Amino acid sequence: MRLIVYEHISGGGYAGQPIPLGVLSEGFGMLRSIVSDFKAAGHEVTVLFDARISKLNPPIAVDCTIPVFYPQEPKKFLVNVAKINDAAYVVAPETGQILQSLVELVEQTGKVSLNCESSAIQKVADKTVLYEILNKNGLPTPKTLVLNVAYDLAEVKRAIKSELSYPVVFKPTDGVSCGGLSVVKKDAQVEKAVAKIKSESVGKRFIIQEFVEGEAASVSLLSARGKALAISLNKQSVNVATPKAVSSYEGGTVPFDHPLKQEVFAMAQKVVESFSGLRGYVGVDLVLTQDKPFVVDVNPRLTTSYVGLCKIANFNVAQALVNAVLKSELPAKPESHGFACFSKVETPKPTISAFQKAAQISEVISPPFPLNDNTKACSLIAGHGDSLENARLRFEEAKKRLFNIISRGK
């Protein structure tokens, strides 16, 4: 097929404004990984690139690239290019209905959308709707309160004391990854937690949840016609910070061996099957306690774990996504071979020459882009090996090579 793959961060979604470096490394890493799989499966691929990214000649094997200079161009280009291709796949955040609106544009062209249906994206993107449906289906979630950002701070504190107990977690209703997230341990931190949500979300509501102690994990799934198949349990490296600091997703490990794995797989499949229209690739975020898993989020799109999953799966995950959407087929025996660990790595801003050399390191999935308005950069590195120890060793070796290249600056 002829495909257009649009990744929002590198593809022009921030045209005319600074590009967030950490999110760029994740976005480009996902784009490069799935494009590589699409190409390996024999498809022709077109991508959009923010002009600042495009001029750096990023390391990605595509048939056509289209530079984006202005904020109004991504939607126009996405529609026009989708019309002359067979199908489109969008990688974008749910925040502010970005993912939903872009998928709706593709659906309106009449061409094949390889994403989840926009109606399903709308349901799971709103955490108040998400938790309501999950609870109705008997799926364990942290105890959750829904409040309005206009509430008096005293009302917020009273709600916490009457319904929950510190520590608690504050989140936007449409947050992605760790955006706007804070762990709040006392009344004095409530004001800053609400302010953080207001600064990172346009939504009027937010949620407060009980803090569940456990390991952060995710499940990667493929879904077709209401039937979901868990293909990987992934460990997440997450820094959950107080309102004064920034919470962040740093990376992860694929696969994640855990005693609750089979229970988690069954639960994640039930989660996805609870929402009509979730299809293709879906991620489910969880917290694993010693006794049971708790569902904390559903991602109706590609997730960063894909950069590790594509290295260890015994099948082409991108083609399996296509088969799930177009043929309602799921892989017969999904298995993994070896381990992959991946993480974002902040670096000094490299020279153009150092950037080009760094991009040639096979473990550097997203090189540190030297953008003009920054003094720093961020890379996404993935190490792969037959054991977790070897995967971590290759990660550290690649990280060392990367910093050596940047320090030399040539």
User: pLDDT tens digits for 216-230?
Assistant: 999 999 999 999 999
Parse the chain into domains and list their residue ranges. Answer: 2-115, 143-210, 213-306, 339-408
CA angle 259, 217, 400 (to 5 degrees): 110
Average the pLDDT over 384-395 and give the result.
97
- In this predicted structure, the answer to whether residue 56 has a pLDDT above a threshold of 80 is yes
Average the pLDDT over 231-259 and give the result.
90
The backbone torsions φ and ψ at residue 370, rounded to the nearest 5 degrees and listed phi first, read -85, 80
CB neighbour class for 403 (10 Å; exposed up to 12, middle 13-18, buried from 19): middle
Tell me whether the CATH fold assigned to 2-115 matches the one assigned to 143-210: no
- In this predicted structure, the answer to whether residue 163 has a pLDDT above a threshold of 70 is yes
Q: Specify the DSSP element, H or E, that contains 407.
A: helix 388-408
Query: Which pLDDT score is estimated for 61?
Result: 94
Architecture in CATH for domain 2-115: 3-Layer(aba) Sandwich (3.40)
- In this predicted structure, the answer to whether residue 280 has a pLDDT above a threshold of 80 is yes
- In this predicted structure, the answer to whether residue 199 has a pLDDT above a threshold of 90 is no
Query: Prior bond to 255 cis, omega within 30?
Result: yes
Angle, in degrees to the nearest 10, between helices 118-125 and 98-109: 170
Helix, strand or coil for residue 148?
Answer: strand
Looking at per-residue confidence, does 393 or 150 come out higher? 393
Residue 257, Cα to own-chain centre: how many angstroms? 21
Query: Which pLDDT score is estimated for 233?
Result: 97
Tallying the residues shown for the chain, one arrives at 410
DSSP string, 381-401: EEEEESSHHHHHHHHHHHHHH
For domain 213-306, the CATH class is alpha beta
Average the pLDDT over 227-236 and give the result.
97
Handedness of CA 407, 31, 218, 193 (dihedral sign): positive
- In this predicted structure, the answer to whether residue 40 has a pLDDT above a threshold of 70 is yes
Query: Which pLDDT score is estimated for 148?
Result: 84
- In this predicted structure, the answer to whether residue 245 has a pLDDT above a threshold of 90 is no
Of 129-133, 238-242, 346-350, where does mean pLDDT reach its minimum?
A: 238-242
- In this predicted structure, the answer to whether residue 201 has a pLDDT above a threshold of 80 is no
User: pLDDT tens digits for 62-91?
Assistant: 999 999 999 999 999 999 999 999 999 999
Beta strands 112-113; 87-91: pairing state: parallel
Q: How far apart are CA 131 and CA 379, in angstroms?
A: 34
Residue for token pair 């550097």: 364
Average the pLDDT over 263-269 and give the result.
97
Beta strands 376-385; 364-366: pairing state: antiparallel
Question: Between 1.20.1600.10, 3.40.190.170, 3.30.1490.20, 3.40.50.2300, what CATH number should domain 143-210 receive?
Answer: 3.30.1490.20
Average the pLDDT over 398-410 and give the result.
92
User: pLDDT tens digits for 305-345?
Assistant: 999 999 999 999 999 999 999 999 999 988 999 999 999 99
Q: Which residues in 4-22 are b (16+ Cβ under 10 Å) and which e?
A: bbbbbbbbbbbbeeebebb
Query: Which pLDDT score is estimated for 149?
Result: 80
Residue 246 banded pLDDT, cuts 50, 70, 90: confident
